[in-house]
Structure 1
Amino acid sequence: MEGENVVVSKNKRHRKDKPWDHEGIDHWAIPKCGKDENPTGLVDESSFAVLFPKYREKYLRESWPLITRSLKEVGVRCELNLVEGSMSVFTTRKTFDPYIIIKARDLIKLLSRSVPAPQALKVLEDEVNCDIIKIGGLIRNTDKFVKRRQRLIGPNGSTLKALELLTNCYVMVQGNTVAAMGSYKGLKIVRRIVEDCIKNVHPIFHIKELMIKRELEKDERLKHESWDRFLPKFKKKNVQRKKPKVVRQKKEYTPFPPAQTPSKIDLQIESGEYFLNQKQKQAKSFEEKQERQARRSEENKRKREESFKPPSGSEERRAADSSSSKKAKGGENLTDIVDSLKKKSNSSPGLSTQSGSDDVSKYFTDGKVKKSKKDKKDKKDKKDKKKKKKDE
């Protein structure tokens, strides 16, 4: 009764147990294909061709004998066309593994992406796979792309080296692609880290996570438990950006372009000047000239009249203050100088005191002391003596 009540899904209704499908089988194991499994070879020929850049031509020409020898061992023929700049691989009658042509295609892809030949030849092994990650179209800004690609490499290639050690993969950054070689599990991790790095997630976060996972794998007790509590959680913080001091108001968006600035001819057409003949234009220009001259003459007349206007009370006060300050700076007045000189003349023996104030005034004209005739004569005699000495 209990067996009859069991509900079986529609997908598994007609499913039967298979003798080769049991719990002990490893579905991820890659079976080896030798010559014994396929002694007759392949039915038809398959081929692949890949272009390579010009700078790889010299290296490929030097390493082509090694590539030909390695592919010949697995029954694959290869060609290097230097005229077209392409590499081709073909299956032959000796090819026994049907998947080896896909491996050979990956080999020539890696060679065109600047991977060294000894490293690229490892992809022919069953355990090694390759993945070429295109990163050129993930971001538009070229400057940002270059900086983030350099971030993936790190200082002196340290970030890339850490990534290779933690994933057990070979990683080569070249141009707009990243070539990776390793197991499927490692390639999946490398692809996620590379794409996140170009999308502005630093690879150091993923490297920390991988290091913690590697340590947790060693503990037998934590094999069947969730590791979320041990792994770091890097969340984006919603930090408010600093507000600018001057906030610029955005102009309203208009789908139409701004109006074109009118030319000289357009302005003449609007004013009607364009349709005037030569005489009318000359007359108009003469009138404008007369108006300008009349305006200038009025302005000049107004300026001249302003100079004849009497100053107001405030202006008089300012003038008085300025004169008093000048007196203070310049020293005594002319009358004070005359009085002081009078006193000196009375006290000095050279000047006669009989004439009094009238005699003293002879020596002054507008504040300057007059020179006597005797002084002038003495000065003249001195000049004559000097001339005679020069003549002698």
Structure 2
Amino acid sequence: MYTKIFIAITSQSLDELLTYNRHKKDKPWDTDDIDKWKIEPFKPSDNAGGHFAEESSFATLFPKYREVYLKESWPLVTKLLKDIGIACTLDLIEGSMTVKTTKKTWDPAAILNARDLIRLLARSVPVQEARKILEDGVACDIIKIRNLVRNKEKFVKRRQRILGPNGTTLKALELLTSTYILVHGNTVSVIGPYKGLKEARRVVEDCMANVHPIYQIKELMVKRELAKDPELAHESWDRFLPNYKKRSLSHRRVPFKVTDKTKKTYTPFPPAPEQSKVDKQLEAGEYHIGREAKKRIAQEERIEKQKVKKEEKKRERERDFIAPDEPGTAERKKKKQKTKATED
């Protein structure tokens, strides 16, 4: 019985294997240059359902100093959004920008790209750079950096590190991540592919955590060179990446009052309470003295301390005017004493 079952299972699995191998053949159209993860662009013909049933809209505020620039560049923004079927309005009185879908909108993601566009324009990004967000495969990331550093002076210094001298660090970061980066106020705006956004965010957040961007830039440069070698595509790159060690030693916190931790003899009685100010006055016999008398005693003590300090300073000043012992003076004194003794 068991033999029949085993033979049946074996024959069934063999048939499946033969069927699998029969269809496992090289396809002439399946070449290595085909990107199987590529997302095809969405065209108007792909929207078979017609216009959307509901209207979607987004609005954002912009600062006062952006009014003039937005007013000049708004015709270009209107033209860009009109091509994808999005309506936009600029309200200079309220200081807001609004985008919404229309009956001509055919791309469901167009309203999201338009929302990102007005957000970037409000963050002082030029129109020529912000318009890239409407392309497929391009995204944006607005990194809030003010809440990453508590001290304002440290925040300003670390924000300046992202820019570097004459903007060289920022330019190198843009070239290595294939993104556009704008450091403005308390935020950093980044536009580019998803991989570049991830790398740029990591560099910015590490810079705010007191890690200099030059270390990240060196690592990105090494990765860029390693990516050119197809043999290293399926290997770990850890052995090639630079490994930096911390140079600053951790300092142990020294307590303000060092307590005596020596072992003491055990006593069942608790320690005596410390004397209060009144107890000390009663012990010294000053509690029942009048206020004027207390002031007079304190004044006399102060004068005595001043006299002692004055004498010490006077002795220190006079010490500089004492003539040092000249070499040979002790021998002369001994000779004089000997001559006097012989004469006597």
1:277 corresponding residue in structure 2:
none
Deviations 1:205-242 (A, max 9, x none): 11101111111111122121111111101232453669
For 2:288 and 2:96, the matched residues in 1 are separated by 71
Structure 2 gap segments, 5+ residues each:
1-8, 14-29, 260-275, 277-286, 298-344
Matched residue SS, 2:147: coil
Matched residue SS, 1:110: helix
Alignment of 1:79-94 (within 5 A): 79-94=89-104
For the pair 1:32 / 2:44, whether they are aligned, the reply is no
For 2:84 and 2:255, the matched residues in 1 are separated by 69
For the pair 1:249 / 2:259, whether they are aligned, the reply is no
For 2:58 and 2:209, the matched residues in 1 are separated by 33
Structure 1 gap segments, 5+ residues each:
6-21, 253-258, 260-269, 275-284, 293-392
Matched residue SS, 2:125: coil
Return structure 1 stretches of 4+ with deviation > 6 angstroms. 2-5, 22-25
1:176 corresponding residue in structure 2:
186
Matched residue SS, 1:79: strand
Deviations 1:268-302 (A, max 9, x none): xx85979xxxxxxxxxx9xx8xx99xxxxxxxxxx
Match of 2:225 among 199, 215, 220: 215
RMSD of aligned residue pairs (Cα, Å): 3.2
For the pair 1:205 / 2:212, whether they are aligned, the reply is no
Matched residue SS, 2:45: coil
2:114 corresponding residue in structure 1:
104
Offset at residue 118 of structure 1 (A): 1.4
Alignment of 1:128-143 (within 5 A): 128-143=138-153
1:46 corresponding residue in structure 2:
56
Offset at residue 62 of structure 1 (A): 0.8
RCO higher in 1 or 2 (8 Å CA, sep ≥ 6)?
2
Q: CA 1:239–1:181 in structure 2 vs 1: closer, same or farther (change >3 Å)?
A: same
1:59 corresponding residue in structure 2:
69
Q: CA 1:4–1:149 in structure 2 vs 1: closer, same or farther (change >3 Å)?
A: farther
Deviations 1:84-135 (A, max 9, x none): 1110000000000000000000000000000001111111111211111111
For 2:37 and 2:115, the matched residues in 1 are separated by 23
Number of residues of Structure 1 aligned to a counterpart in Structure 2: 244
- Amino acid aligned to 2:58: F
Alignment of 1:129-168 (within 5 A): 129-168=139-178
1:236 corresponding residue in structure 2:
246
- Amino acid aligned to 1:33: F
Task: State the TM-score, normalizing by the size of structure 1.
Answer: 0.57
1:226 corresponding residue in structure 2:
236
- Amino acid aligned to 1:111: L
Matched residue SS, 1:137: helix
Q: Percent identity?
A: 57
Offset at residue 30 of structure 1 (A): 2.3
2:201 corresponding residue in structure 1:
191
Q: CA 1:194–1:3 in structure 2 vs 1: closer, same or farther (change >3 Å)?
A: farther
Task: State the TM-score, normalizing by the size of structure 2.
Answer: 0.64
Matched residue SS, 1:80: strand
Q: CA 1:249–1:228 in structure 2 vs 1: closer, same or farther (change >3 Å)?
A: same
For the pair 1:117 / 2:127, whether they are aligned, the reply is yes
